[in-house]
Structure 1
Amino acid sequence: MPSNHPITRFWRAALHVAVLPVMLALAGCVTAPAVAPPIELSIFSINDFHGHIQPQPAGGIEYLATVLNQLRDKRPHQVFVGAGDLIGASPQMSALLKDEPTLSALGELGLVATALGNHELDHGVQELLRKTHGECPSKGCDWPGFKGATFPYLAANMFDTATGKRVLPSHVMKHMAGLKIAFVGVVTRDTPKVVVPRSIAGLRFADEADTLNALVPELHAAGAQVLVALIHEGAMYDGAANDPSYACPGLKGRGVDIAKRLDPAYAIIISGHTHQAYTCKINGRLMVQAGSYGGWLTESRLTLDANGKVLDAQATNYPVLQGVNAPNPAFAALVQRAAALTLVARSQPVATLKRGANRQVAAPYGDSSLGNLVADSQLAYAKKHGGADIGLTNSGGIRADLVVVPGRMITHSDVFAIQPFGNELIALTISGAQLKALIRRQLPPRREGGPTTLQVSNNLRYQWSQAPGTGVVLDAITVDGKPLDLYRDYRIVANNFTAEGGDELSILRQGRDRAAIGPDIDALVEWLSDNPAAMDQIDSGRIQRN
């Protein structure tokens, strides 16, 4: 029968009507592709630990281990990282052993990577590499069995000036929860301002944000789906360690500028350097910091889709408190070993004092009782070893208060905590005009987050004033009770960091007839032990605002 016959057309239409419901029913049984559930990732972080393995009011490696491991047990996908200055400027228990116990402890705690901090360079790149590689001199390492760091230091913006190449890796890749995550580290570009020049000779430090942004195409090409920035630079903040709104009003400093310029490809910024505790969002992106010395542990919780896109981001700073946490036995044993190895050196008696001294300045751009004490000790030491007219010391080099407990002598360990860098005292000569320019540089305006005020010996005094809407006026400068003579030379003593122009003090680089006269800690030990009146002349008032 022809295909166009009426009967044929009738049966074709009838068949279509009968089959269509069946096809529609079958189509209704087809299941849409399943949507992958969100991925929860916890990033635990610390910064500016500075070798504080020993127990303290907040922190201590044995308590940090407890808090971290308790949280880890609740998080199926987690990682532990650092934002620099994990060693350097450390208490004696770690410093006497070249921070090898700290590196071992952090490795055992499962640290995956850390940004390089400026203090990791205090003794130069080669010493850092020796320690990270676990290389020991012929006599052996100071920490028995030391094998080096099991985690890499990252410094994408630190280059060898001779070769133009990076000295340390820029990033590490980790596979977690089906995602490829890049942890990218940078050190503060201001490292040349806060590290002794000889320790960073031959190194160049590029801008943090520019460096991180330039790496984004390379990281994506390597398959990274999530980018995490570990930045040893941060912000200043007067608020609480945890802001539920993440708004953090008043947050300021270089870290904020970096965050605003950073490529949106970076999911989170883990910061350091400023020793602040905060959980903030800048343009909707988390920027966190965990205070210092292990007193806080930050957990940043990212909710991600299957492609690594951030769906939600939250953070909490957990206090590491001894009163509510039991010490981890393995890390308590590590601290006990370090304590035993350093006991004799740490316990050497220095002096019995009736009062202590505080490093906090009495007023902005002013002096502190402890800064005055240190400057006095350096001048007295220099007068014994070649002579000097004035003692100067940088506030940033004073790392702890001098605390006096009735009935207990001040020990070498107490003094070392105040000045832990092992700096050398340098005597140099500058003119009165240069000294006046140096003093003027200590006063407003100073850049946000810049160096704090130089502390001065008892025989140098100056007064300054500033009327509203006007510039600063130096009203008077006296040395040994006499007006500063702009045309005569003065012999200055300061630690090598200051003498070599640290803290933006380029004037001191112009000093003539330089002479190294001994360690700064020896000066303070001698001053306290030999001079009973040392504490009677340190009250603030050497620097006054009229």
Structure 2
Amino acid sequence: MLATALVATVLAACSTARPMLAGQVEQATPVDAKSAPRELSIFSINDFHGHIQAKSPTPLMPRLPDAQTGEIKAQAAGGIAYLAAAMSKLRAGRAHAVFVAAGDLIGASPLYSSLLKDEPSLAALGELDLVASALGNHELDAGLMELKRKANGECPALGCAWPDYKGPGFPYLAANMLDAQTGKPILATHIIKEVAGFKVAFVGAVTRDTPMVVIPKSIVGLRFADEADTLNALLPQLRAEGAQVLVAVMHEGASHSGGANDPSYECPGLQGRGVDIARRLDPAYAIIISGHTHQAYTCKINGRLLVQAGSYGGWVTESRLTLDASGKVLDAQSVNHPVLQSAYTPNPAFVALVQRAAALTAAVRNKPVAELKQGAQRSVQAPFGDSTLGNLIADSQLAYAKKRGSADLALMNTGGIRADLTVEPGRPVTMSDLFAIQPFANELVVMTISGAQLRELLQRQLPKDDASPRLLQVSGSLRYQYSVGADGQAKLGAVSVGGQPLNDQRKYRLVVNNFMAEGGDGQSVLRQGTERVSVGVDIDAMVELLSENPEVVTQIASGRIRRE
């Protein structure tokens, strides 16, 4: 049975540790001022997204030398049973260790977890003795009330989706998510734990950009403040509560083109909001554990560790702080450990948990959709700005809307495309495969916009300063070009809809998901759309297209968006 004596002990301990808004404090034993330096190990993950099941290698998994050939390639990694085994082995040699997370543990999850309201993922992570997690934007996908229900282990009148669900046993921390009217935090700001004889404060923050990446109706009444400013303002309270070591755990991060581990910690090319926050955060914080960008890195900004553990449980970051008697950092080292399936024997209790989730979701997951000859990828190859999978999704949504009314074009945000469409010989593509690509079950909205508004929308989403583009994916009825000048600024070129030049005065019927329709990803122009009609759910559009015309995948190519 899953509930082993060890698991029961962990859950019993965690279940009593409910957060208070001002933070939670455990009594620490006195520290001898003459004692020798001690080492504190902080293990961390981020962006787990409900990936409890073990999967085959994907481009997002650790890229390491193959054991047989030495070729650098993606390795099979992650899955809760392997993560549990890795954590057990890694913690065995650490006398003073703690496990925390930097958000997005749930949301945008595969069917194993999402069909069960992500309850098995939260239960499993709690059993790994996770003491706290920063709130991630995806934890709010279903709204704050639903998050609180799951965090508190409460079940609806008809019962929880995961039998005997009792909650995760750890608190979500979000110092900068505030009640819009009172300005007070909604969730706990921090939690203080005794580790290695020190009072260690874990202080959490969610990305201030949450309104840009969450459907507005899910965050009504909430305000998101600057991460660094908020954490800095908490210092007097943390010190008053006796905190000796401060750890910032935030769901915001950086972009990194280097390896998962940099022995020098210099990380050349590291950039993004995570770096800016690190530079502005008070030096009193000993380390910054980050998330959100799905990157794996171990870096130092102004001499302080800024770390992240990739995504989906494929990595675990171990950060080791050597502290003097007062809690001052004498040395800080960090390493990202790959959770390779080839390196660990999966924990049997968590194997049973995944098998239970598989059985409860099998009927939906295994439903066949179509036999396909080839798949489609979400990656973009220059000089194009569109991918084969992005095109396929946009085409499916346009076709779906046309059957139910009128539509001229469709746009799809790249952030909503979570996996490639992979095809295995002799096996049909299933609902599980498609849901892994589009796990949000977004509604499709048809709206009217002018040609001028479409032109403005396309111009605004072009890359800035020659950054890597993450352009809206387009249906086959829309084609355009853009160029990047010597100053690094992108400019929209020729645009056509239905084979005709874009007419600024004409009205067009546009299909987008409801996340985009409400201005998500900064697409504020779409809020101006009128005559809105909801026509169905995004995954249903893909199911309909592939089941009726499985050959369509072989006919789609990149080139609808071209950089001149």
CA contact (8 A) 1:253 1:448 kept: no
Alignment correspondent of 1:508: 526
* Structure 1 residues without counterparts, runs of 5 or longer: 1-32
> Share of identical aligned residues, percent?
68
2:373 aligns to what?
A: 354
Counterpart residue number, 1:468: 486
The alpha-carbon distance between structure 1 residues 126 and 448, as it changes in their structure 2 partners (threshold 3 A), is farther
Deviation, structure 1 residue 465: 2.7
- Asked if the contact 1:399–1:418 (Cα under 8 Å) also holds between the matched residues in 2, the reply is yes
Please name the residue that 2:82 is paired with: 63
Backbone CA RMSD of aligned residues: 1.5
Counterpart in 2 of 1:529?
Answer: 547
Residue from 157, 162, 166 that aligns with 1:138? 157
Cα distance in 1 between the residues matched to 2:230 and 2:493: 45
Cα offset for 1:477? 1.0
Q: What is the 5 A alignment of 1:227-266? A: 227-266=246-285
**More moved, 465-474 vs 237-246:** 465-474
Pairing 1:387–2:406 present: yes
1:151 aligns with 170
Where in structure 1 do 4 or more consecutive aligned residues deviate above 2 Å?
A: 444-449, 464-475
Query: What's 1:37 paired with?
Result: 36
Q: Answer yes or no: is the 8 Å Cα contact 2:124–2:168 preserved in 1.
A: no
- Inter-CA distance 220–92: structure 2 relative to 1 (3 Å threshold): same
Matches within 5 A, 1:452-491: 452-469=470-487, 472-491=490-509
The answer as to whether partners of 2:208 and 2:224 remain within 8 angstroms in 1 is yes
2: CA distance, partners of 1:35 / 1:433: 72
- Counterpart residue type for residue 247 of structure 2: V
Q: Which residue of 2 aligns with 1:52?
A: 51
Residues of 1 paired with 2:363 and 2:268: CA distance?
48
Q: 1:506 to 1:98 in 2, by over 3 A?
A: same
Greater gyration radius:
1
Shift of 1:479: 1.0
Displacement of 1:71 in angstroms is: 1.4
Counterpart of 1:519, as a letter, is V
TM-score scaled by structure 2? 0.89
1:41-98 deviation digits (Å, cap 9, x = unpaired): 1000000000000012210000011111111111111100000000000011000001
Residue number among 429, 443, 452 corresponding to 2:462 in the alignment: 443
Q: List per-residue Cα deviations over 1:167-198 (Å, max 9, x = no partner).
A: 10000011122211100000000000111111
Q: Does residue 1:371 correspond to 2:390, yes or no?
A: yes
**Alignment check: 8 A CA contact 2:441 2:539 kept:** yes
Partner of 2:557: 539
Contact 2:479 2:495 in 1 (8 A): yes
Structure-1 residue corresponding to 2:303: 284
Q: Note if contact 1:393-1:494 (Cα within 8 Å) is conserved in structure 2.
A: yes
Distance 1:305 1:34, change over 3 A: closer
**Separation of aligned partners in 2, 1:448 and 1:373:** 25
Residues in 2 aligned to 1:113 and 1:471: alpha-carbon distance in whole angstroms: 42
Three-state SS of the structure 2 residue aligned to 1:35 is coil
Q: Which of 190, 207, 211 lines up with 1:171 in the alignment?
A: 190
Q: Deviations over 1:96-140 (max 9, x none)?
A: 001000000000110000000000001110010011111111221
CA contact (8 A) 1:365 1:452 kept: no
Give the SS at the match of 2:271.
coil
**Partners in 1 of 2:259 and 2:383 — Cα distance?**
23
Q: Call closer, same or farther: CA 1:470–1:206 in 2, change over 3 Å.
A: closer
Give the CA deviation at 1:306: 1.2
Q: Distance in 2 between matches of 1:413 and 1:136?
A: 26
Is 1:326 aligned with 2:345? yes
Q: Match of 1:17?
A: none
Counterparts in 2 of 1:446 and 1:505: CA distance versus 1, 3 Å: farther
**After the TM superposition, which of the residue ranges 385-394 and 283-292 deviates more from structure 2?**
385-394
Partner of 1:180: 199
The alignment partner of 1:112 has SS state of strand
TM-superposed CA distance for 1:37, in Å, is: 1.1
Instruction: Tell me the distance in 2 between the aligned counterparts of 1:142 and 1:67.
Output: 28
Decide whether the 8 Å contact of 1:365 with 1:443 is kept in 2: no
Shift of 1:363: 2.4
Work out the CA distance in 2 between the residues paired with 1:158 and 1:327: 37
Equivalent AA in structure 1 for residue 311 of structure 2? S
> How far is 1:536 from its partner?
3.4
CA drift of 1:351 comes to 0.4
In 2, the alpha carbon distance for the partners of 1:389 and 1:135 equals: 45
CA distance in 1, matches of 2:293, 2:163: 33
**Structure 1 residue 238: Cα displacement:** 0.9
Does the CA contact (< 8 Å) of 1:458 and 1:537 recur in 2?
A: no
Taking the aligned partners of 1:34 and 1:531, their CA distance within structure 2 comes to 74
**1:291 deviation in Å?**
0.3
Q: How far is 1:448 from its partner?
A: 6.3
Greater shift in the superposed pair: 158-167 or 348-357? 158-167
Deviations 1:409-451 (A, max 9, x none): 00000000000011111111000111111111122326969x8
Query: Which string of whole-angstrom CA distances, capped at 9 and with x for unpartnered residues, describes residues 257-288 of structure 1?
Result: 00000000000000000000011111111111
Contact kept, 8 Å, 2:371 with 2:550, in 1: the verdict is no
Q: Which residue of 2 aligns with 1:271?
A: 290
Partner of 1:315: 334
Q: 1 CA distance for matches of 2:114 and 2:553?
A: 27
Distance in 2, matches of 1:287 and 1:467, equals 34
Q: For the Cα contact (< 8 Å) 1:365–1:442, is it kept in 2?
A: no
> Where in structure 2 are there 5+ consecutive unaligned residues?
1-31, 56-75
Distance in 2 (alpha carbons) for counterparts of 1:472 and 1:76: 53
Residues 1:406 and 2:425 are matched in the alignment: yes
Alpha carbons of structure 1 residues 42 and 472: separation in structure 2 relative to 1, 3 Å: closer
Distance across 2 between alignment mates of 1:433 and 1:72: 58
Give, in whole Å, the separation in 2 of the partners of 1:166 and 1:199.
17
Separation of aligned partners in 2, 1:469 and 1:182: 45
Partner residue, 2:67:
none
- Aligned twin of 2:355: 336
Superposed counterparts of 1:58-207, under 5 Å: 58-207=77-226
C-alpha distance after superposition, 1:186-214 (max 9, x if no partner):
00000001111111111000000000000
Whole-angstrom distance in 2 between the partners of 1:238 and 1:545 = 22
Amino acid of the structure 1 residue aligned with 2:334: A
Cα deviation, 1:338-362, whole Å, max 9, x if unaligned, reads 0111111000000000010000112
SS of corresponding position for 1:104: helix
Work out the CA distance in 1 between the residues paired with 2:290 and 2:484.
36
8 Å contact kept, 2:463–2:470? no
Give 1:364 deviation, angstroms. 6.6
The one-letter code of the counterpart of 2:50 is G
| Contact 2:178–2:222 (8 Å) recurs in 1 | yes
Amino acid at match of 2:439: P
CA contact (8 A) 2:419 2:437 kept: yes
Report how far residue 466 of structure 1 moved: 3.6
